[in-house]
C-alpha cells in the first residue's frame, strides 16, 4: 500500500515534469546543499547515465527538461521513486543499475543548478591525438580472410570492441576502445573500423592487420555519439577514406579528421538558434551522421535546434566546409537512408515524428507522425507487397513498428505516409532486414517485462498482415540490436549481459546456429553491410 502511494505521488510529479512551467526557482531550501564530494559523485552519475537523454545542461531532449525550475517542485523522495522505477514514457528503471545511495544522490543533484562542463577546443583535441601505427608501417594488402564479412562488436559496459570473423566466428581481436563505446562505422573502403565512445574518444582499427589492431586515437570532446567517413567517389573527386567526422554532445560541435590517421583538421560549432522559435540554445548536440554516396557531403543532425546540416566537405583540405541548413524538427536522434539513398529519414523522437530529408532537392520532403518516440537505429528498407518501397522504425514508447512509404515517384499515394502499424511484443530499440531475406527482426529491449525483453519478434515480409512470431532467445540479460552477415543468410543478435553472447540465427530456419560468448555486447556492425548502407 505504502509503495503504491509512493508510486502514485511519483506519477503526479511526473506529470508536473512534463508541464511547461512549475515552481518558483528562487525559493532556496537548505536541502539543496551537497558536500563537494557527493556533488562530484552525483555529477558523474548524471553525466554517465542521464545526460544522453536529458542533456548535460538538463534542458531536455529524448527525456524531459530537468532544470531546477521544474525539478524543485518535486520532493526528493518522489524524484527517487521516478528514477528507481522508470516511467511509462520509456525511461528505464535504474534500481538494478544504481544503488539506493546513488539514486538519492542524483535526486538531490536534480534540485541544484547544473554545472557547465569545460570546453574542449582544437588545442586539447590535438594534444589527445595518438598515431599508434603510421600509415607506412601498416599492411599493404588485405588478409587472406573474407574480411568484408568481419563484424565489429561493441562490448559497451567493459569498454571494448571485438572483431569477429563472420565466416569462422573466431574472435580475432578484443581491443580497449574506452568508456561506454557507442557505435562503429567502417571507412568507405571498409579497411578501417572507427569507434566512438561516450567520452568523446574516437579509435581507428585496421582490419587488414592480423590480428586487427588500433592504429590511431583521438579525443574530440568529452561526450560524443556519432562518427562516419567520407564516401563520395565521382566527378568531383575521390574522397574514399579521405576524412572521418565525429559528432559531439559536449561541446556541441563536429570535428573533421584525416581518414587514415585521425589527425584533427577542423572543429565546427553547432551552437545556434532553434529552427522554429529562433531561441539561442547553448547545447545543440550532434546526433546521427550519415555519409552521402552521391555527393561529397555528410548529413549531420543537430538535436536541440532541429536543423539538419548538409555539410559539403569537398574543400575541407582548404579548411572550408559549406553548410546547407534544413529546418526539420526538434530532438533529432537516429536515422538511416531509404533504399535509393536519396532520402534520409531521421527520428525526432520527443516529437513523435520522422523527418524525411531530400538530399537531391536539398529540402525537407515531409514530417511524418509515427507513434510514441520513434527509434529506428538506421531503420529497415524493403519492398512492401502492397505499398512499394518502404522504411520502418520501432518505438521507445510503444510496442509498434511504423512502416513509411518512401517512393514519391512510382508510389506517390503512399509516399511519406505511415502505411502500416505492425504490433510487436514490447517497446524496442532496433529493427533489421536484408534485401535477400524474407524476415524483419525487431527487438523488445525496453519492455518492462523481462521475459518479453528476452524475445525477438520476427515478421514475414511477404505476409505482413499475419501475426508475427516471438522467439525466446535467452533466459538472462536482454536482447538488443540485430545485424546481418554479408550474404544476408544469418542474423546476429546481442544478449546484453555481463555473461553475454552473440546469438547467430539462420535467417531461413530462424534457428540458432552459433553462440559466441562475450561480455555485454550491444551494437554490432558487419563491414560490408555498414559501408554499403544495407539495412
Task: Look up residue 137 and give its three cell numbers.
Answer: 608501417
Q: Does 287 bind ligand DHE (CB under 6 A)?
A: yes
Q: Single out the segment in contact with ligand DHE by CB under 6 A; choices: 3-11, 83-91, 284-292, 454-462.
A: 284-292
Angle at which helices 76-85 and 2-18 cross, to 10°:
90
Q: Does 182 bind ligand DHE (CB under 6 A)?
A: yes
Q: Does 62 bind ligand DHE (CB under 6 A)?
A: yes
Cα distance between residue 216 and residue 138, in whole Å: 12
Judge contact between 41 and 48, C-beta under 8 A. Answer: no
Beta carbon nearer to ligand DHE, 261 or 526? 526
Count the Cβ atoms, other than its own, within 10 Å of residue 358: 15
DSSP H helices in 86-177: 100-110, 122-128
Binding mask 385-424 for ligand DHE (x = CB under 6 A): ----------------------------------------
Beta carbon nearer to ligand DHE, 72 or 330? 330
Active site residue 482: no
Beta carbon nearer to ligand DHE, 251 or 523? 523
Which entry of 111, 182, 281, 375 is annotated as an active-site residue?
A: 375
Angle at which helices 36-45 and 100-110 cross, to 10°:
100
**Angle (nearest 5°) at CA 86 between 479 and 65:** 115
Closest contact distance (angstroms) between CB of 303 and ligand DHE is 7
Under DSSP, the state recorded for 124 is H
What is the SS3 assignment for 342? coil
Q: List the one residue from 72, 378, 455, 486 that touches ligand DHE (CB under 6 A).
A: 378
Cα distance between residue 400 and residue 387, in whole Å: 18
Which entry of 91, 193, 400, 531 is annotated as an active-site residue?
A: 91
Judge contact between 354 and 361, C-beta under 8 A. Answer: no
Angle at which helices 76-85 and 100-110 cross, to 10°:
120
Strand order in the sheet with 297-302: 286-291, 297-302, 307-312, 322-327
Under DSSP, the state recorded for 273 is E
Count the Cβ atoms, other than its own, within 10 Å of residue 20: 6
Q: List the one residue from 22, 153, 154, 531 that touches ligand DHE (CB under 6 A).
A: 154
Closest contact distance (angstroms) between CB of 58 and ligand DHE is 13
Closest contact distance (angstroms) between CB of 67 and ligand DHE is 18
Strand residue runs (E) in 180-331: 181-186, 192-197, 201-206, 213-219, 223-229, 233-234, 237-238, 243-250, 253-258, 264-269, 272-273, 280-281, 286-291, 297-302, 307-312, 322-327
Beta carbon nearer to ligand DHE, 22 or 57? 57
Active site residue 34: no
Task: Look up residue 335 and give its three cell numbers.
Answer: 536515422
Beta carbon nearer to ligand DHE, 456 or 480? 480
Q: Does 381 bind ligand DHE (CB under 6 A)?
A: no
Q: Single out the segment in contact with ligand DHE by CB under 6 A; choices: 111-119, 212-220, 258-266, 287-295.
A: 287-295
Q: Does 53 bind ligand DHE (CB under 6 A)?
A: yes
Q: List the one residue from 104, 334, 443, 497 that touches ligand DHE (CB under 6 A).
A: 334
Closest contact distance (angstroms) between CB of 482 and ligand DHE is 8
Beta carbon nearer to ligand DHE, 152 or 388? 152
Q: List the one residue from 195, 226, 370, 437 that touches ligand DHE (CB under 6 A).
A: 226
Q: Does 156 bind ligand DHE (CB under 6 A)?
A: yes
Active site residue 265: no
**Angle (nearest 5°) at CA 477 between 110 and 46:** 15
Active site residue 53: yes
Q: List the one residue from 84, 248, 305, 522 that touches ligand DHE (CB under 6 A).
A: 522
Q: Which residues bind ligand DHE (CB under 6 A)?
A: 52-53, 62, 154, 156, 182-183, 198, 225-226, 287-289, 333-334, 377-378, 429, 480-481, 522-523
Q: Which residues are catalytic?
A: 50, 53-54, 91, 333, 375
Amino acid at each position: 500500500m505504502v509503495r503504491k502511494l509512493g508510486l502514485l505521488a511519483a506519477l503526479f510529479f511526473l506529470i508536473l515534469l512534463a508541464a511547461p512551467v512549475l515552481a518558483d526557482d528562487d525559493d532556496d531550501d537548505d536541502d539543496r546543499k551537497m558536500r563537494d564530494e557527493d556533488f562530484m559523485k552525483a555529477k558523474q552519475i548524471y553525466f554517465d547515465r542521464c545526460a544522453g537523454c536529458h542533456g548535460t545542461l538538463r534542458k531536455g531532449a529524448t527525456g524531459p527538461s530537468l532544470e531546477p525550475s521544474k525539478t524543485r517542485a518535486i520532493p526528493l523522495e518522489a524524484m527517487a521513486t521516478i528514477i528507481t522505477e522508470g516511467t511509462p514514457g520509456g525511461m528505464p528503471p535504474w534500481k538494478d543499475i544504481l544503488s539506493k545511495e546513488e539514486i538519492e544522490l542524483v535526486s538531490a543533484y536534480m534540485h541544484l543548478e547544473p554545472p557547465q562542463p569545460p570546453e574542449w577546443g582544437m588545442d586539447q583535441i590535438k594534444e589527445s591525438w595518438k598515431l599508434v601505427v603510421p600509415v607506412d608501417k601498416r599492411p599493404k594488402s588485405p588478409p587472406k580472410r573474407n574480411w568484408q564479412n568481419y563484424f565489429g562488436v561493441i562490448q559497451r559496459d567493459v569498454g571494448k570492441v571485438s572483431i569477429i570473423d563472420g565466416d569462422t566466428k573466431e574472435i580475432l581481436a578484443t581491443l580497449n576502445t574506452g568508456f561506454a563505446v557507442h557505435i562503429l562505422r567502417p571507412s568507405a573502403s571498409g579497411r578501417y573500423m572507427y569507434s566512438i565512445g561516450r567520452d568523446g574518444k574516437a579509435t581507428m582499427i585496421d582490419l587488414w592487420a592480423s590480428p586487427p589492431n588500433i592504429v590511431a586515437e583521438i579525443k574530440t570532446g568529452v561526450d560524443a555519439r556519432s562518427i562516419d567517413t567520407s564516401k563520395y567517389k565521382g566527378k568531383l573527386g575521390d574522397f574514399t577514406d579521405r576524412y572521418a567526422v565525429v559528432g559531439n554532445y559536449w561541446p556541441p560541435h563536429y570535428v573533421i579528421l584525416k581518414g587514415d590517421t585521425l589527425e584533427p583538421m577542423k572543429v565546427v560549432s553547432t551552437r545556434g538558434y532553434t529552427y522554429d522559435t529562433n531561441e539561442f540554445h547553448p547545447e545543440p548536440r550532434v546526433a546521427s551522421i550519415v555519409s552521402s554516396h552521391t555527393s561529397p557531403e555528410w548529413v549531420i543532425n543537430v538535436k536541440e535546434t532541429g536543423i539538419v546540416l548538409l555539410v559539403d566537405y569537398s574543400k575541407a583540405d582548404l579548411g572550408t566546409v559549406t553548410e546547407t541548413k534544413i529546418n526539420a524538427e526538434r530532438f533529432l536522434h537516429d536515422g538511416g537512408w531509404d533504399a535509393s539513398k536519396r532520402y534520409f529519414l531521421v527520428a525526432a523522437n520527443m516529437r513523435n515524428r520522422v523527418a524525411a530529408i531530400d538530399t537531391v532537392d536539398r529540402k525537407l520532403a515531409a514530417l511524418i507522425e509515427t507513434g510514441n518516440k520513434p527509434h529506428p537505429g538506421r531503420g529497415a528498407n524493403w519492398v512492401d507487397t502492397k505499398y512499394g518501397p518502404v522504411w520502418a522504425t520501432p518505438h521507445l514508447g510503444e510496442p509498434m513498428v511504423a512502416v513509411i512509404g518512401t517512393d514519391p515517384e512510382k508510389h506517390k499515394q503512399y509516399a511519406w505516409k505511415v502505411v502500416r502499424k505492425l504490433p510487436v511484443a514490447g517497446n524496442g530499440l532496433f529493427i533489421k532486414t536484408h534485401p535477400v531475406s524474407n524476415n524483419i527482426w525487431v527487438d523488445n529491449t525496453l519492455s518492462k517485462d523481462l521475459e518479453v525483453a528476452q524475445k525477438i519478434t520476427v515478421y514475414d515480409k511477404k505476409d505482413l498482415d499475419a501475426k508475427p512470431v516471438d522467439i525466446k532467445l535467452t533466459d538472462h540479460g536482454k536482447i538488443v540490436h540485430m545485424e546481418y552477415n554479408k550474404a544476408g543468410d544469418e542474423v546476429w543478435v546481442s544478449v546484453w549481459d555481463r555473461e553475454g553472447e552473440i546469438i547467430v540465427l539462420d535467417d531461413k530456419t530462424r534457428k540458432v546456429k552459433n553462440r559466441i560468448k562475450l561480455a555485454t555486447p550491444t551494437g554490432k556492425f558487419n563491414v560490408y553491410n555498414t559501408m554499403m548502407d544495407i539495412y
